[in-house]
Amino acid sequence: MMVSALIERELTRVGSPVRNGVFVAVVGPSGAGKDTLIAYVRERLTDDDHVEFARRVITRNSDGATEDHDTLADAAFVEAEASGAFALSWEAHGLRYGIPASVDDAISVGHVVVANTSRGVIPALRARYAHVAVVEITAAPEILASRLAARGRESRGEVLARLARTVPHDLSGPGHVLIDNSGAAEIAGEKFLAVLRRSVAYADVSGLV
């Protein structure tokens, strides 16, 4: 671990935000296409070692069709959480999610870290990291319902009921970008890619201050 990363970790422990890099939080409702767009930009940034894509830990087995993640049972997740294994963790839809603590080190050395997160944890992210970009992926309600129904996990009625229960979050603030993914993934993907390239440029500059 680099000395600068050790310093940043200690500053974080006593309350100072992790600086230099940028945490890019990808948020949005189920069916908006977050995993699709993350895969799109990841493929186009394979040669950029300043951008890292956080591998989440979830208390759900990987189905091979969506996000490739690490899996822990509930008890093991709670134990890992208590030991400080996660920079950020939350619960949603009966599952537990965690972002590995290693992202602190990546950001402290000026990297851009991209992660699929919950809208409800944005305040915690903004407190933990000095530079946060929030990329909110949306789609028309009928498209969300169609995509979710196609997964086969819920009936169309259950999907519509879940969408109706969605609680809005105020994500306004510095670094918030709204991207509509109702159309071709390439259109939204290029907008997302532009956000990441701006974040890399910003991290390069902020690390010199």
Q: Give CA–CA dist 69/62, Å, rounded.
A: 6
Evaluate whether 159 touches 149 at the Cβ level (below 8 Å): yes
The per-residue pLDDT for range 130-162, each reduced to its tens digit, is 999 999 999 998 898 888 888 766 776 777 676
Q: Which tokens hold the place of 92?
A: 């949603």
Specify the length of the chain in residues. 209
Rounded Cα–Cα distance for residues 102 and 15 (Å):
17
Pick out the residues of the known binding site: 28-35
Provide the residue ranges of all domains of the chain, joining segments of one domain with +.
18-203
pTM as predicted: 0.83
Where are the extended beta strands (E) located within 1-124? 22-27, 51-53, 57-58, 70-71, 86-92, 95-100, 112-116
- Decide if pLDDT at 2 tops 60: no
For residue 14, name the pLDDT band (cuts at 50, 70, 90).
very low
**Is residue 5 within a helix (H) or strand (E), and if so which, with residue range?**
helix 3-13
| DSSP state for residue 17 in the 8-state scheme | P
Residue 164's φ and ψ, nearest 5 degrees, are: -70, -25
Residue ranges of the binding site for ATP: 28-35
CATH class of domain segment(s) 18-203: alpha beta
For 24-41, how does the pLDDT look when each residue is reduced to its tens digit (9 = 90+)? 999 998 889 999 999 999
**CA–CA distance, 8 with 206 (Å, rounded to integer):** 15
What gap in Å lies between CA 107 and CA 154, rounded to an integer? 38
Range of 6-20, 97-111, 158-172, 192-206 with top mean pLDDT: 97-111
Question: In angstroms, what is the C-alpha Rg of the chain?
Answer: 17
